Amino acid sequence: MTVRSVQDTAEKRLRNLVFAYLQGEPSCDLRWVEGCIGPARAEVREVLETRFAQYASTDRYRELMARLDCVIPPPQKTAA
């Protein structure tokens, strides 16, 4: 029996969610993708560039890439 590493399992999950979004699956929009990836933006960008280059001419690919390029600042700490 072959056991996948945690890293392989995580990459497969990211590949599957990117694929679902690029294929236009119902309810798989940018908000859904962002909710699923959490802080793994760099990993998703790498998966997108290496595994899904054939979608580079599509609007969904460009929209996702633009969203991944957008840096979300961390929450500001308030003084007590």
Token pair recorded at residue 69: 């390029």
What pLDDT digit, counting tens, does each position of 28-77 carry?
999 999 899 888 888 999 999 999 999 999 999 999 999 988 655 555 66
Spell out the residues 6+ positions from residue 68 whose beta carbon is closer than 8 angstroms to its own: 41, 44, 45, 48
**Alpha-carbon distance 41 to 12, whole Å?**
15
- Return the pLDDT at 75: 55
State the sign of the Cα–Cα–Cα–Cα dihedral 65, 55, 7, 35. positive
Domain boundaries, the chain: 6-69
At 18 the pLDDT is 94
**Predicted pLDDT of residue 44:** 92
CA nearest 17: which of 53, 39, 44? 44
